[in-house]
């Protein structure tokens, strides 16, 4: 290190460079442009550390300080944050995939093939989206396990646990609606199996117990509502596509917003009492 050579009378080349860098940094961070973007100083002070969190739209979700145990990896394993991160990955890769995909039986499968063979990094893009979805499902389940094992659902955090269960269900539904879109044999029959279950719903499914009481048939039961038809076809593909790309992500985004906000409002990250 340059600084260890204390007996040197004139500043060494390294030290001079450091000084130049510092002057340059001072000039940049004092400029109007910089200060219009970052509402805090550059110097590493406690005040600036606080402002870095509170004056940043993305970081202000966090408190300024946290109990020391909360940042231990082995406390949260970052599971909730990583689930959210994967939601963002799915959003970005999903929007990119939308450029190459048309949710119509005549085109859907051809678009998949085109994506795989004719689009630069198309297969990788799809792989990222697909494997990311699986990873997100696993992570959200593990996050729930972590929250349970640390007793973090207990009062006053009851409602946030309820929101979390809803987000788990939404994650599964997001994954399930996406499963149909490739329009291959795997997608078609997996979703056939899944949606056939809806027909077994008591009272409102055409094959469920007590369906006769409401006079429900295959043309007006809950499965028909899902598929827009008596069997899986173009209507179902369009419904699943719209739900997958717009409806469910919007609901999930709103619930996530409340979920994160409530972490703060319900007393911050759970701590040992």
Partner 1 sequence: MSEAKDASDSITEEGLPPGDLVPVFPYLVFLEFLAALLISILLLVWALAVNAPLLPEANPGRTENPAKAPWYFVGLQELLVYFDPWIAGVTIPTLIILGLMAIPYLDTSRNAVGRYTFGARRLAIGHFLFGFALWWILIVVGQFLRGPNWHFFWPWREWVVSTGVERDLWSFPWWVGLPVLVGYFLGGALLARRRWPWLYASLGPGRYTAVVLLALTMYALPLKVLLRLVLGVKYVLETPWLNV
- Taking the least distance from each CB to partner 1, the nearer of 15 and 135 is 135
Size of the site for partner 1 (CB under 8 A): 97
Asked if residue 37 binds partner 1 (CB under 8 A), the reply is: no
Asked if residue 104 binds partner 1 (CB under 8 A), the reply is: no
Stretch (H or E) spanning 90: helix 79-98
- Taking the least distance from each CB to partner 1, the nearer of 10 and 80 is 80
Sequence-ordered list of residues with C-beta below 8 angstroms from that of 24, at least 6 positions apart, any chain? none
Query: Contact 211/221 with Cβ under 8 angstroms?
Result: yes
Sequence-ordered list of residues with C-beta below 8 angstroms from that of 112, at least 6 positions apart, any chain? 101, 126, 182, 183, 184
Q: Return the exposure string of 95-109: e unless at least 16 CB atoms fall within 10 Å of the residue's CB, then b.
A: ebbeeebebebeebb
Asked if residue 154 binds partner 1 (CB under 8 A), the reply is: yes
- Applying CB under 8 A, the span of 10-18, 31-39, 127-135, 257-265 interacting with partner 1 comes to 127-135
- Taking the least distance from each CB to partner 1, the nearer of 5 and 134 is 134
- Segment 40-99, which members bind partner 1 (CB under 8 A)? 44-46, 49-50, 52-53, 59, 62-73, 75, 78, 81-82, 85-86, 89
- Segment 236-265, which members bind partner 1 (CB under 8 A)? none
- Taking the least distance from each CB to partner 1, the nearer of 11 and 202 is 202
Q: Give phi and psi for 95, each to the nearest 5.
A: -60, -40
- Rounded to whole angstroms, how far apart are CA atoms 147 and 168? 13
- Residue in the block written with tokens 């991160």: 85
Asked if residue 165 binds partner 1 (CB under 8 A), the reply is: yes
- Rounded to whole angstroms, how far apart are CA atoms 192 and 196? 6
- Taking the least distance from each CB to partner 1, the nearer of 9 and 215 is 215
To partner 1, the closest distance from the beta carbon of 220 in angstroms equals 18
- Taking the least distance from each CB to partner 1, the nearer of 191 and 245 is 191
Asked if residue 233 binds partner 1 (CB under 8 A), the reply is: yes
- Rounded to whole angstroms, how far apart are CA atoms 24 and 172? 51
Asked if residue 10 binds partner 1 (CB under 8 A), the reply is: no
- Segment 173-232, which members bind partner 1 (CB under 8 A)? 175-176, 179, 182-190, 192-194, 196-202, 205, 207-210, 231-232
Asked if residue 107 binds partner 1 (CB under 8 A), the reply is: no
């Amino acid at each position: 290190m340059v600084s260890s050579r204390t007996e040197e009378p004139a500043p060494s080349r390294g030290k001079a460079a450091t000084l130049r860098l510092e002057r340059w940094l001072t000039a940049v961070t004092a400029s109007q442009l910089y200060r219009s973007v970052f509402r805090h100083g550059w110097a590493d002070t406690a005040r600036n550390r606080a402002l870095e969190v509170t004056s940043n739209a993305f970081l202000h979700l966090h408190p300024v300080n946290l109990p020391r145990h909360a940042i231990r990896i082995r406390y949260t394993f970052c599971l909730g944050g990583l689930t959210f991160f994967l939601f963002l990955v799915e959003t970005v890769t999903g929007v990119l995939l939308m450029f190459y995909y048309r949710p119509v039986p005549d085109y859907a499968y051809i678009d998949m093939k085109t994506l795989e063979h004719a689009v630069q990094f198309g297969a990788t893009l799809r792989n990222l989206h697909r494997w990311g979805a699986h990873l997100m499902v696993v992570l959200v389940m593990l996050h729930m396990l972590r929250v349970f094992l640390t007793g973090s659902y207990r009062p006053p955090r009851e409602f946030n646990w309820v929101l979390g269960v809803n987000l788990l269900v939404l994650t599964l539904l997001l994954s399930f609606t996406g499963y149909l879109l490739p329009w291959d044999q795997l997608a078609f029959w997996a979703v056939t199996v899944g949606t056939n279950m809806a027909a077994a719903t008591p009272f409102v499914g055409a094959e469920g117990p007590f369906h006769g009481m409401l006079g429900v048939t295959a043309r007006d039961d809950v499965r028909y509502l899902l598929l827009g038809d008596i069997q899986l076809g173009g209507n179902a593909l369009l419904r699943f596509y719209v739900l997958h790309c717009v409806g469910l992500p919007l609901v999930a985004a709103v619930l996530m917003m409340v979920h994160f906000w409530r972490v703060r409002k319900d007393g911050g990250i759970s701590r040992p009492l």
